[in-house]
Chains A and B, each alone.
Chain A
């Protein structure tokens, strides 16, 4: 939903899993009538990314307000038509969101399927290498193939997003404790930012996003924390969201673990919820609203760390 503002937003708190469900529901009406205060939008966006029920209600409400607009319907002056049709001749259209290159993805899927058949979960291999226990969750084969495809690709991207498990994954992410902070308050984000910056191994990496804005990655391995800061980031588009990933390993063995999703805006501070200590890179892709289990295409920004 989404995201969706045109123009810069005021600085706001790091998106949390969202307010209590009852509170989130109440805000959906105001969302549909554009009656939320700017700082409320961010939290609700974050909640919508992780709550399918609310997304459905939000869609129903926008259909409803669209009907309301019938009451004030009034033809635009003729000059507007002329101006619009002329203006579009010089305006570049946005491409659809990048998707996996079919051929490449398919071949990787076959390789991964063979790996699955042998009984290995490629994710477990990279986990063991990273010194962690193998994953305990069992996923449907389709999802496992998707994950394995992500592992197999040299560049780290090219797997196919699996939508079936999105809600489960998103809810699990939401349930994870954010290290060291109450992420729902601005003060907490300030604290995190200061903490990272004060660390002896603090690093700042800037990356240019496709819309020209800068994405800043603040990283400290010793604090096991990373913050991503947006600056006038463009709306990812209808039904889309930006998504963070933490990268493990490199080259052929690189795995990208899904992390927080976020929308366009200014001065957002997104706290990376995954493990930073062992990460080799942070990346951002554009996904379907709700996020993905595996990146659906090449990243729009990668920060090696």
Chain B
């Protein structure tokens, strides 16, 4: 069962430390799967129960997934208040649409992550002017390492695998994937920032994703 939540203390955005929302805690407490196909089975079951109105199942679904969802939303938005708002709206939408999840579209986690990412990107493009984003643009080839901030979060093997896979891309592929996925830029904006022809970024993203997909051994039908 989840531990009692540690209050934020310094308001929203403070380091909550180890709390019920820490997936490692929730998962190990429940003794259940935290990765791979077992995780997907677990999430599918939780989502199906949620679709029938089971709020406890949904709470468990939240506990298992919120780090990945909030993490990517925060990375794209770079602002905690926006990120918490979008994360909340996102989960409400997951609750609303739980009955509409279709296996043919992929795993529950992919469905959710895609939805979360889409919301974050829509928000960042709505609230941030192009010039403001350019000012903050730092030419990165790696996403900021959040594990340096969240010292308590375990460095899972899966996370290391993805990091290595990303490092296996060519620099321009990694740059294109990172700028668009984590930076939230469109390929047109990215092309402008990188001063490359239109279409180049699209190709690099696709090539990068193919390489990632194959390195990670993801099935693609």
Contacts and interface: CB of A to CB of B under 8 A. Distances in A.
Given A77-B8, A238-B105, A70 B162 contact: yes
B213 A5 contact: no
Contacts of A33: 177, 180-181, 205, 209
Given A74-B149, A85-B55, A96 B100 contact: yes
B100 A97 contact: yes
Contacts of B62: 81, 84-85
Given A59-B106, A66-B109, A289-B104, A78 B166 contact: no
A42 to B, nearest CB: 15
Interface string B19-61: 1111100000000000000000000000000010101001100
Contacts of A25: 206
B68 interface: yes
Contacts of B22: 75
A29 B202 contact: yes
Contacts of A26: 199, 202-203, 206
A135 interface: no
A117 interface: no
B88 A87 contact: yes
B108 to A, nearest CB: 10
B95 A73 contact: no
18 contacts: A30-B187, A30-B206, A32-B209, A59-B105, A59-B220, A62-B113, A64-B212, A68-B182, A71-B159, A72-B72, A72-B74, A77-B12, A77-B84, A87-B91, A93-B51, A93-B99, A97-B100, A289-B102
Interface residues of B, number: 103
Interface string B57-96: 0110011001111111011000010001001100111011
A95 interface: yes
B122 A71 contact: no
Contacts of B113: 62, 65-66, 69
A-B pairs, 5 with minimum CB distance: A239-B102, A60-B220, A29-B206, A237-B100, A76-B70
B177 A68 contact: yes
Interface residues on A, range: 35 or more
Contact of A73 (B5, B68, B122, B165): B68
Interface of B: 5-8, 12-14, 16, 19-23, 51, 53, 55, 58-59, 62-63, 66-72, 74-75, 80, 84, 87-88, 91-93, 95-107, 109-119, 121-122, 126, 143-144, 146, 149-150, 153, 156, 158-159, 162-163, 165-166, 177, 180-182, 184-188, 190, 199, 201-203, 205-210, 212-213, 216, 218-221
Contact of B12 (A60, A62, A70, A79): A79
Contacts of A88: 55, 58, 91-92, 95
Interface of A: 1-2, 4-7, 25-30, 32-37, 56-57, 59-85, 87-89, 91-97, 237-240, 288-289
A68 B181 contact: yes
A74 B209 contact: no
Q: Secondary structure of the B side of the interface?
A: helix
Contact of B92 (A2, A34, A87): A87
B105 A29 contact: no
Nearest to B206: A29
A211 B149 CA distance: 42
A70 B109 CA distance: 11
A215 B146 CA distance: 45
Given A34-B181, A73-B159, A67 B205 contact: no
Contact of A78 (B5, B88, B150): B5
Contacts of B149: 74
A34 B206 contact: no
Contacts of A72: 71-72, 74-75, 143-144, 146, 182
Contacts of A60: 213, 218-221
A65 B202 contact: no
A289 B119 contact: no
Contact of B118 (A6, A68, A71): A6
